Amino acid sequence: MSLLINHFYRFGEFSLDTDQRILLREGKPVSLAPKVFDTLFTLVENAGRIVSKEELMNRVWPDTFVEEANLTYTIQQLRKTLGDDARHPVYIETVPKRGYRFIASVDEVLLDKGSINDQVNRRFETTESAVAGERLLEPSKEQRAVELASESEPDAIINRPNTATIAGSTGINKRMVATVGIVIILAGAALAVWQYAKGSSSASSHRTGTTASIVSPLNVEKLTASGTGRFVAISPDGRYIAYTQVVEKKRSIWLRQLRTNTNIEIVPPTGNEHIQGLQFSNSGEYLYFVKGYPSTLYRVSSLGGVPTKLLENLEEKFAVSPDDSQITFIRTLIKSDGQREQSLLIANDDGKQERVLLTTAHPDTLNVPIWSPDGASIICAYFSTASGTHGANLIEVRAVDGVKKELHSGSFFSISKMAWLPDKSALIMSARKTHEGENQLWRASYPGMEVSQITEGVTYYIDLSIASSVDKAAATQGNHTTHIWVGPGKEPETIRKILQGAIYFCWAPNGQLVYSSKAAGNVDLWVMQPDGGGQKQLTTNPEMDGTPAVTRDGRYIVFVSNRTGAYELWRMNMDGSGPIQLTKSGGIRPSISPDGKWVFYNSSDWRLWKVPIDGGEPVRLVEHVAQYPSISPDGRMIACMQRTEHDNKLSILVLPVEGGPPLKRIEFAQGGFRGVRISWTADNKALIFGIDRSGATALIKQRIDGGAPEELMNFDEDELFDFGYSADGRSIAVTRGEWQHDIVLIHDLLASVKNRP
């Protein structure tokens, strides 16, 4: 008889069955996406050897071009499954600039599938039917004896790299006992998988505030490939898709007839005004959209024509009632202290007879309103950043009197869009659970609000629209890449790309860069040389550590972390040791005084505070909003941002370091502030900051005594995330990235999610 050998790997508390393609933890199956399993198999198969990133991508994604970000995300998911720590790995070691190595001890079990097949079948025959309870019969005394023998028998394992086949023998010797024991273990594992597939997955489906296992992928058809489609709406009958498109930095609205795949422009571009928030009327006769800043709501015939202005000064998200007679929207006002106030309103379909239903003040925020199926109430996201927390709730507000009730308490970091399934049994949401996460699709049953996750992966979902009479939906899929670029400060146009995946950073006095990155699976702080060498991870935490600032003497790093559940300021030594919490009521955007004694920062309501770097009671400096504080090199002034009450526009304030009335106010001469940071020049005479202008991001230098702004760098279509000059001013670094947004059509959405809780 020929032997058919099955490979069965064991490491730690895990077993990997390559024939069944399952991972077991202590005999129980663990859910793994196919690509994650393939990655694990490749690493385990090459245990002890460095597997290059290129080799892994070729093995896991054969004949397919993928970004390195896909591999990074897959490794991150694998580490989470194994409970591994990238900084102190037990299973998967990152080898900088080369790849990954599986470092755990791996034992390889060789099984004769031909000889055990009948025994496995007989094992399954001892199982009662699912109707009778899906319960295993008690094993016989002989079976228990074999299992006990196999548990203590070391000869069942063939240590790597020995792969000799199992020889036959007469009688029940040690090798035969071990083989039979492994047979029973494998049979039990297979049975566990069968039971898991039959029933336990539904039994373990997560309820409100948790994540259900990902079941089946959506049936997605890509409609655009330009990377410039951002907002989308599908007609109620599912025949048309309206979407925004950017061509030569100009934005317009296009309509696609799905049956013929023909596209026509129905709202031509007017300058570089943003167009957003598309929605068809429920009759399909009109298309609504928001354009410009301050934002204005328009309505246009679905066939095109001259748009009609309906409402002014509203947020991007709005909704049309089921009978098309009313519109609900959110309006933001800036109070005299620079703080934000938001209101939920309704108006007639012609924009008249506005009525306020609910008003909130910062740090409470309203977003993504949507009408209930019967048109009697409005559901929207409601979240607060008080004390540095950020939990999004779902609330329902009655349209007749504005009475509010909570539907779902805040298990999401943010909710970006909501739409009803065609049968109105549930809301589909574009949302994310954490600050560092990306938007995925979630299902929330109505009115029970039982939440389950639909999608996961590197690709995320931004906009969403669902047809009301057919099982189709349209969405915007997105992905992005970021890199640190470094070069000479006097020749910024010669900067070169150094490192992928970095976000916020700062220069250390010794010329190193301290930066935040998801390279290890979470947003942690790292340090490296400006040429990308000497990378070292400084923090390891399941939450986010970012936005670093370094003292002038290079002793401390101050950073923002939500490791306690709220965003607070922390201080640690330059090597990552000795972390100390500095604030307890929220803290973001740290800026350190030149003498290293004080940390200036924003609280969660964007007020300006300072706290001793050695810890102590915070001191509030001004009563009004003062965002993105930056201390001048001489330690005498603070630059910050503030919105003006009369026109809601941003301006730069220069304040005395001890607080008080502004010394200077600088109005923006062009473009809008690109909210990353404000930086001083070494002579204390000018400020450097980013602006958005004509669809591009630029770095601008502005003297505080007036004069025309000077453009230092232009990033074309890239987005600027952060920038900074080295302590000696000789070098500049920026983090910049590219966002890709494309429109997709989702078929059979209702069928894909109907089995979720």
Over residues 476-502, the pLDDT tens digits come to: 998 777 899 999 988 877 899 999 888
pLDDT at residue 114 greater than cutoff 70: no
Q: What is the mean pLDDT of residues 611-634?
A: 94
Confidence of residue 206 (pLDDT cuts 50, 70, 90): very low
pLDDT recorded at residue 593: 97
d(CA 22, CA 189): 9
Q: How far does Cα 359 stand from its chain's mean position?
A: 29
- Integer Cα distance of 451 and 426 in angstroms: 9
On the question of pLDDT at 631 being above 80, the answer is yes
Task: Choose the weakest-confidence range: 53-62, 289-298, 671-680.
Answer: 671-680
| 569 — pLDDT class (breaks 50, 70, 90) | very high
Q: What is the mean pLDDT of residues 307-328?
A: 95
- Nearest Cα neighbor of 722 from 527, 515, 532 is 515
Secondary structure (3-state) at 24: strand
Taking residue 332's Cβ as centre, other Cβ atoms within 10 Å add up to: 18
Q: Is the pLDDT of residue 574 over 90?
A: yes
Query: DSSP label at 442?
Result: E
Distance CA 476, CA 462 (A): 5
Which of 417-426, 485-494, 559-568 has the largest mean confidence? Answer: 417-426
Query: Is there a contact between 22 and 193 (Cβ–Cβ < 8 Å)?
Result: yes
Asked if the model's pLDDT at residue 419 lies above 90, the reply is yes
- What values do phi and psi take at 291, rounded to 5? -140, 150
Could you report the per-residue pLDDT of 184-200, keeping only the tens digit for each? 444 444 444 334 333 33
User: In the prediction, which pLDDT does 151 show?
Assistant: 30
Q: For helices 34-45 and 53-60, give the axis angle rounded to 10 degrees.
A: 130
Is the pLDDT at 620 greater than 90? The verdict is: yes
∠ Cα 460 525 690 (to 5°): 65
Confidence band (pLDDT; 50, 70, 90) for 111?
Answer: low
Edge-to-edge strands, sheet with 262-267? 232-234, 240-247, 250-257, 262-267
Model confidence at 128, in pLDDT bands (50, 70, 90)?
A: very low
For range 254-266, the mean pLDDT: 91
Position 144 scores a pLDDT of 31
Instruction: Tell me the pLDDT tens digit for each residue of 580-618.
Output: 999 998 899 999 999 999 999 999 888 899 999 999 999
For 671-699, what is the mean pLDDT? 83
> Pairing relation of β-strands 355-361 and 710-714?
unpaired
Architecture of domain 5-203: Orthogonal Bundle (1.10)
- Contact criterion met (CB below 8 Å) for 226 and 245: yes
Range with the poorest average pLDDT among 390-394, 398-402, 426-430, 658-662? 390-394
Percent of the chain residues past pLDDT 90, beyond the cut? 46
pLDDT at 699 over 60: yes
How many angstroms separate the first and last alpha carbons of the chain?
50
Mean pLDDT of 77-97: 87
Once rounded to an integer, what is the mean pLDDT over residues 614-627? 92
Distance CA 32, CA 10 (A): 17
Give 681's DSSP letter: -
SS3 call for 70: helix
- The dihedral sign for the CA sequence 633, 635, 636, 641: positive
**Residue 120 clears pLDDT 60, i.e. is over it:** no
- Please state the domain extents for the chain: 5-203, 220-480+741-753, 482-670+720-736
Say which residues have a Cβ less than 8 Å from residue 243's Cβ, sequence separation at least 6.
223, 224, 229, 231, 232, 233, 253, 254, 256, 278, 474, 743
Model confidence at 109: pLDDT above 80: no
CATH match of 482-670+720-736 with 2.160.10.10? no
User: pLDDT per residue over 523-542, tens digit each?
Assistant: 899 999 999 999 999 998 87
Average pLDDT over residues 443-452: 90
How far, in Å, CA of 266 to CA of 270, rounded? 13
- What's the pLDDT score for residue 86? 84
* pLDDT score, position 385: 66
The pLDDT of 242-267, averaged and rounded, is 89
Average pLDDT of span 655-679: 83
Q: Which residue has the higher pLDDT, 649 or 58?
A: 58
The predicted pLDDT at position 74 comes to 84
Whether the pLDDT of residue 553 is over 90: the answer is: yes
Q: What is the pLDDT of residue 193?
A: 38
Question: Which DSSP string do the residues of 103-118 spell out, in sequence order?
Answer: -S--EEEEEEHHHHHH
Paired residues of 274 in beta bridges: none
The Cα-based distances of 634 to 70, 353, 640, 666 in angstroms read 45, 55, 16, 20
Q: Cα–Cα distances in Å, from 702 out to 488, 493, 652?
A: 20, 19, 10
pLDDT at 63: 65
- How far is Cα 500 from Cα 532, in angstroms, rounded to an integer? 10
Confidence of residue 756 (pLDDT cuts 50, 70, 90): low
Mean pLDDT, range 125-152, rounded to an integer? 30
Residue 134 has pLDDT above 90, yes or no: no
**Cα separation of 582 and 435, whole Å?**
21
pLDDT higher than threshold 90 for residue 147: no
**Given a cut of 70, is residue 207 above it in pLDDT?**
no
When mean pLDDT is compared across 41-45, 272-276, 704-708, the lowest value belongs to 272-276
Q: How far apart are CA 265 and CA 244, in angstroms?
A: 10
pLDDT score recorded for residue 145: 32
pLDDT, averaged across the chain: 81
641/3: higher pLDDT = 641
CATH of 220-480+741-753, one of 3.40.80.10, 1.20.1440.230, 2.130.10.10, 1.10.8.60: 2.130.10.10
| pLDDT at residue 434, as a whole number | 75
Three-state DSSP string of 290-353: EECCCCEEEEEECCCCCCEEEEECCCCCEEECCCCCEEEEEEEEECCCCCEEEEEEEEECCCCC
Structure tokens at 15: 């077993």
Q: In what order do the strands lie in the sheet containing 364-371?
A: 364-371, 377-384, 391-398, 404-412
Q: Is the pLDDT higher at 216 or at 658?
A: 658
326-331 CB contacts, 8 Å cutoff, 24+ apart: 326/375, 326/399, 327/288, 327/297, 327/351, 328/369, 328/371, 328/378, 328/399, 329/297, 329/369, 330/366, 330/367, 330/369, 330/380
Dihedral of CA 71/73/74/78: which sign? positive
Res 529: pLDDT: 96
Predicted confidence band at 459 (pLDDT cuts at 50, 70, 90)? confident
